[in-house]
């Protein structure tokens, strides 16, 4: 089995990682109940529904 000829420093290894790192945007989907954007597979923060079932009671204070 091949072995490295010399130690690779933390800085050099981290540079190799950072060269291929890309930040991704969040996956947002439309809530079927209130049609607001929400994170997929999460309870909707606006209406409290998940998969057609209300799992969280949301207080709606309208002024």
Please report, for residues 4, 18, 19, 26, 34, the alpha-carbon distance to residue 23 in angstroms, rounded to integers and kept in the order given: 31, 11, 12, 10, 29
Q: What is the pLDDT of residues 5-63, one digit of tens each?
A: 999 999 998 999 999 888 888 899 999 999 999 999 999 999 999 998 999 998 876 54
Judge whether 5 lies within some domain.
no
- Domain holding 52, by residue range, is 26-57
What's the structural domain count of the chain?
Answer: 1
Judge whether 30 lies within some domain.
yes
Judge whether 15 lies within some domain.
no
Judge whether 42 lies within some domain.
yes
Q: Is the pTM of this model over 0.85?
A: no
């Amino acid at each position: 089995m091949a072995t490295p000829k010399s130690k690779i420093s933390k800085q050099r290894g981290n540079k190799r990682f950072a060269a291929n790192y890309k930040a991704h945007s969040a996956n947002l989907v439309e809530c079927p109940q209130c049609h607001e954007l929400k994170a997929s597979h999460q309870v909707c923060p606006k209406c409290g529904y998940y998969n057609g079932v209300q799992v969280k009671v949301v207080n709606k204070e309208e002024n």
